[in-house]
Structures are given as structure tokens and as C-alpha cells.
Amino acid sequence: MKINIIGAGVSGLTTGCYLQMNGFETQIFEKHSIPGGLCTSWKKGEYTFDGCVHWILGTDEGSSFYKMWSELLDMKNIPFHNHEIRMDIELKKNVNKYGEKIFHLYTNVNRLEEYMLDLAPEDEIQIKRLTNSIRVMQQFDLPPVMDDLPFIQSTIRGIKMARYLKFLYVLFQWRNDTNRTFAQKLKNPFLRESFELLYDDQDVNMVVMTMPLASFDKKSAGYPIGGSLQFAKYLEEAYIKLGGKIHYNTPVKKVIVENDTAKGLLVRNNVSHYSDAIISAADWNWTIFEALEGKYTDKKIFELKELKKLKVFYSVLQFSFGINKDLSDQPHFSRFPLATPILSPDGTQYERLEVHVYNYDPTLAPKGKTSVVVSFYTEKADYWIELRKNDRPKYREAKKQMLETITELLDKRLGGIKEFIEERDFATPATYLRYTNNWKGSTQGWLPGENLIALSPVKFTLPTLKNFYMGSHWNQPGGGLPIAISTGRDLTKKICKEQKKKFISKKVNP
């Protein structure tokens, strides 16, 4: 069976790998010249600027996601870095009992607990409620790999799964708590402000904090040395070794459909590539409303299109700097208040700066030099996309002015680095849309809603359309690399079942 796949992002590459393992003939069509999609980095001069991965779930040998990644990659030979501190948050109003304004979010749960209890013994109940929940989560490695089993084995697994009721109870306890509602339960003003600012003044469900911290503590959420593009290249290599083919610089124009059956792809220069089935691992909106011209929809799809059910994940303004200076003494990831808020051209006001110093990855800059990224999230992606489309000179001027503003702020923060800046770059939502085609320049897919464990409204198939599948980070709110690989695996299992084939997953290191 021959299957054409749209998109060489992590979803397309992992789906392609699993399909090749199971005897299918696949080829991927990618508009860009490199793999990875949103999992990307780019070079400018001697520097590499990373645009995606801060950490990857499943970097310790005991986790289910490690086992899944190991079906495709030689994980033991990929170097990962684990941070002792997830981030440093500088407060604006309060200091702790030592006169410090910085809150350290330690990745080790015991150290984090001791640190917070030392600062705020009066909040012992809430602090231990938080850290004990993290410890409970560590006991349960959620099994994303759920192969079909015979009745007796599935019954035994069901009994074992009853243990997860404790885990579900913790989720239930935190279901209505965000970082800000949790902060209001704290008596200590320093700790209270720290949690209020945990997500840059946003309300985010506390499970979004506790689950990653449970992984950080177990060294199961490491950063891959070499960055995002290098990690994508590992997957590209795996796919090609399995016999897959990738057509770069080959944007898909439309899906060829005959009698409500997907037949092939029409790519650049109006060349047609026919196959037995089509998988779109590309953008959800583009797939449905452009490649398929909006012909295969229903009420639920239009509710998603109109953003009635879910919101699109934020886009980002990323300012990248190549600095001829050793910044190993700087915190790798910090947020701090600005003396005067800055107003973005899109109308968003920012009161804090987020600085990512890649002093822990020697591959991103020459020795003695450092790659630094400043990021702002925005819900006004359409402004940048439309400005670039309709008024390119004004777009360039807006970028220039914003870049100058951030350069001055960074110079003050890092102690006079302006004269050492060798490279500068500014990626807007229009940049992300241009290179990845991700709807609204989003950095992921759907933003998780209030119900974090709700079933996804996005299915593998579309109404009345045969021989067509969708599998990407859009299939589950939150998106990201774990969703990409688990979606690719599950979609392959579905296709194997339809073709009456036994699903096979060959481990790289059995």
C-alpha cells in the first residue's frame, strides 16, 4: 500500500517511520528545505538560534515516552541536558526574608519544597499539597502505548490501571486551580507574587506546572544538545533508513479527490503524485479549508474554525542575538519586570521580559560566545501576518523598531552587551506562518482548555472522505512533540487494523 504524507515535521516523520516499519510504502512532501516543521532552529553567521524545544518528555530510560522514542531513535547516544532550575522569576513588589527578589523554580521536588518552606513556613499546608501532588504524579508513568491485547491480558491490565485512580484523584483536586487561584491561598507575599507571575500574569491550570515538574525531577524532561533542528534530523535519518523518501521544496497545492476518495497530491508545477491513501501531518486549518477546499466538514469542525470550542496556541515574537561574550554566569532562563512597559506594534503591552541564555549548549555558538533569545507571546498574530502581506515596508519598519527596543533592554539586563552583539534576528508570527504554514503563526496547535483530560475534537478522519487521514499536534490540545509521536503511532495502528495487519514497532536498541 502506497501512502503520501504531507509535511516533514515531527508528526510526518514519526508517522512515516511507523508506516515503513509496518510494510507500507511512503513518501513525504515538504514545502521547506529542511525537516522538523515547528521543531526548528536556524543559522545566522556563527550562531544557531533555536525556535522550539526547551525540553522533551521522555528522556529517562524508565518512562513510556522514552520507550516510544527508542522505537525510532538511539536515545542512549543523544546527549540531553537537565537543568537544576527551570526558571528564575524576578518579582516587582516583594522580596523574601533574605532581601532577594528572585524566585527559583527548582526542578528537584525535595529541594523546591525545602526552599519554599524556608521562605514561607506559614504556607506549609499549601506547599506540601503542591509537592506531594508532584510526588504522586511521579509514581504513575502514564502509558501512552496501549497495544491491543487478548482478553485475559487486557483484564489484568485493567486491574493494574485501577492504581491510576490515585493519579486521577490528584487531577480532580487541581481541576479548578490555576497558578493565580493557588497564589491567593498563600499567606507569604513573596511566594504569592511568585506564583502569580509563574506564567507571565496568565491563568494556567496547575496541572500544567505539576506534571512537567514531576518529569524534571526524574530527569525525564531534558533538552537535546544541538537544539530542535538537530533532533528533527535524527528523525529524518531514521525515516530514510527505513526506506522512506522526502521531497523537500515541494509544497502541496491540493489533495486530489475523486468521488469522495483521496487519490493523490497536486504539488508545485502542477505535478500529481497518486497513492492509495493520503495523510496530512500539516496544519489543520490549511488541510481542511485549502487543500480540501472546505468540502469535508461538519458542525464541530466549523466550531473549531470559529474558535468556539478551543483557542489556537499563542504565537511568539522571538528576538535572537549572537553575542561575542561568555555568559555562563547568567541564569539560563529568566523573567523580570520592566521599569517601563513596552507596547508592541500589534497593540500588546508587555511588562516583563523573558530571556533564554543558551550557555548550556556549546553547539549553538563558538567557544566564548553565546546565543541568546528573548520571547514574547502574542494573541495578535493576525496583525503581523496581514501587515507583512499588505504593507511590506511598514512591516520591516515595525520589526526594526521593535528589535532596537529589545536590544536596549537586553543591554541593560546583561550588563552592557550591546557592543558585543554580532548577529540579530527577529521572527514574527508571519515568519512562523511563512516557514511552517501553522495556522495564525501558532507555535503549537490548540491551547488546552479548562478540561485538560477532555477527548480531542479533532479526529483522524473527515466526514464522508475516504482514504484520507489527519495526524499531527492538532489532534490533541496542547500539542508538542509527545503528542506528535503518539499520534503518529496511533494513526499507524489504526491503518494497520483497517488493512488487517499486525502492528509492529521495531526498537532501535532491542
Could you tell me if 108 and 194 lie in one domain? yes
State the pTM of this model: 0.92
Is 48 part of any domain? no
Is 336 part of any domain? yes
Number of folded domains in the chain?
3
Could you tell me if 34 and 154 lie in one domain? no
Look at residue 162 in the predicted model and tell me its pLDDT.
57
Angle in degrees, CA 300, 304, 310, rounded to 5? 120
What are the percentages of helix, strand and coil residues in the chain, rounded to 5?
Answer: 40, 25, 40
Residue 6 domain boundaries? 2-42+228-310+450-498
Could you tell me if 340 and 363 lie in one domain? yes
Could you tell me if 409 and 297 lie in one domain? no
Could you tell me if 206 and 274 lie in one domain? no
Could you tell me if 127 and 254 lie in one domain? no
Could you tell me if 237 and 305 lie in one domain? yes
Look at residue 449 in the predicted model and tell me its pLDDT.
60
Compute the distance between CA of residue 36 and CA of residue 226 in angstroms, rounded to an integer: 14
Could you tell me if 128 and 202 lie in one domain? yes
Is 185 part of any domain? yes
Q: What is the sign, positive or negative, of the torsion defined by CA atoms of 439, 443, 444, 448?
A: negative
Could you tell me if 114 and 210 lie in one domain? yes
Compute the distance between CA of residue 11 and CA of residue 486 in angstroms, rounded to an integer: 9
Compute the distance between CA of residue 21 and CA of residue 503 in angstroms, rounded to an integer: 9
Are 371 and 49 contacting, i.e. CB atoms less than 8 angstroms apart? yes
Which regions in the chain score pLDDT beneath 70?
Answer: 142-164, 201, 449-455, 508-510
Could you tell me if 350 and 422 lie in one domain? yes
377 DSSP β-pair partners: 316
For 333-344, write each residue's pLDDT tens digit. 999 999 999 999
Angle in degrees, CA 295, 388, 232, rounded to 5? 70
Look at residue 452 in the predicted model and tell me its pLDDT.
53
For 194-225, write each residue's pLDDT tens digit. 999 988 767 788 888 888 899 999 999 999 99
Are 41 and 227 contacting, i.e. CB atoms less than 8 angstroms apart? yes
Could you tell me if 203 and 329 lie in one domain? no
Could you tell me if 334 and 232 lie in one domain? no
Look at residue 142 in the predicted model and tell me its pLDDT.
60
Look at residue 454 in the predicted model and tell me its pLDDT.
54
